[in-house]
Structure 1
Amino acid sequence: MTDIKTVLADAEELLKQAASTTEERASELSEKALSLLKQAKEKASDAQVVVVERSKQAARVTDDYVHDHPWKAVGIATGIGLVIGLLLNRK
């Protein structure tokens, strides 16, 4: 995400420079900005793939745990529900 933010900031700066320069230079800066935006899009896509894969892995691990320890899972869910209920009721 840091890389994506950096690339987007660089592209934004190039577009600002393009707005205040000559037509030829503006065209060159706009091309660079579009290239940077394409890079950001690719990095965001890569990050999305990683997040989706990790989420699927976490879901599989959770599902396996619940199937292996159903009563523990029920107890944990009940405890979490009780805590949330107490916090909401406290207001």
Structure 2
Amino acid sequence: MSRNYREDAREAYRDAKRRGRRGVERARHRADDISHDLAEHAEEAWRETDDYVHRNAWSSVGVAALAGFAIGFFVGRR
């Protein structure tokens, strides 16, 4: 009778292990998909920003200078 319990426990362990592996694989695939989507969005944002800066070069320089001045001002006040 103890052999049946042992065999049942082994089967339950194997089943849990299979389900765990499937869950890990699904999570890994989902993470890969999300990573791919994020990379695509980041690349698209980079291209749009690059295009904007090229079209509005002097405005971009002015904004960057103003931001640098503001950061320097607030850091210098410490």
When the two structures are superposed, what TM-score results if normalisation uses the length of structure 1? 0.70
Unaligned runs of 5+ in 2: 1-8
Unaligned runs of 5+ in 1: 1-21
1:53 aligned partner: 40
Deviations 1:39-74 (A, max 9, x none): 000011000111111111111111111111100000
Runs of 4 or more consecutive aligned structure 1 residues displaced over 4 Å after TM superposition: none
Number of equivalent positions: 71
- Structure-2 separation of matches of 1:78 and 1:71: 10
1:71 aligned partner: 58
- Structure-2 separation of matches of 1:39 and 1:59: 30
1:83 aligned partner: 70
- Structure-1 separation of matches of 2:64 and 2:58: 10
Instruction: Specify which of 16, 34, 47 is matched with residue 21 of structure 2.
Output: 34
Could you say which structure has the greater relative contact order, defined with CA pairs below 8 angstroms and 6 or more residues apart?
A: 1
When the two structures are superposed, what TM-score results if normalisation uses the length of structure 2? 0.80
Alignment root-mean-square deviation, CA: 1.6
